């Protein structure tokens, strides 16, 4: 069972929180180049179904769609913005790139 670390809004109803932790979310990188305005998000820990390893996951709902990521870079940037803006980061632009080693990454910027 998922262990919720933080959520937005603070009074997020249990059904929405459950749905966000169990949804077949689109990968955040699929939203690269898009501007998203989350109506809700959940940062949680859950065991990987295959390895059993505990992973930190961020899922957010925007415009009726659910996006998720385990990207440490995205999670750090998103949560820093959320903390700075009292829990609600507002609109974000999803940005994808490639490292010098050729690995793809995803992060976000405040719009």
Q: What is the DSSP string of the chain?
A: --EEEEEESTT--HHHHHHHHHS-PEEGGGGTT-EE--SEEEEEEEE-TTT--EEEEEEEEETTEEEEE--HHHHHHHHHHHHHTTT----EEEEEEE-TTS-EEEEEEE-
Q: Tell me what pLDDT residue 39 has.
A: 96
pTM attached to this predicted model: 0.91
Q: Tell me what pLDDT residue 74 has.
A: 97
Q: Tell me what pLDDT residue 20 has.
A: 95
Q: What's the CA gap between 49 and 46, in Å, rounded?
A: 9
Task: Give the strand pairing for 92-98 and 104-110.
Answer: antiparallel
Q: Tell me what pLDDT residue 1 has.
A: 74
Mean pLDDT by 10 residues, the chain (111 residues): 92 94 92 96 92 94 95 96 94 94 94 93
Domain residue ranges of the chain, discontinuous segments joined by +? 3-110
């Amino acid at each position: 069972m998922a262990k919720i670390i933080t959520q937005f809004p603070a009074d997020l109803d249990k059904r929405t929180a459950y749905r966000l932790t169990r949804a077949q979310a689109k990968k955040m990188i699929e939203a690269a180049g898009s501007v998203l305005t989350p109506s809700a998000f959940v940062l949680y820990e859950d065991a990987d179904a295959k390895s059993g390893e505990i992973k930190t996951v961020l899922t957010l709902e925007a415009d009726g769609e659910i996006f998720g990521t385990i990207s440490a870079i995205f999670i750090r940037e998103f949560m820093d913005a959320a903390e700075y803006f009292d829990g609600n980061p507002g609109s974000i632009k999803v940005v994808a790139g490639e490292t010098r080693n050729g690995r793809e990454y995803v992060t976000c910027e405040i719009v």
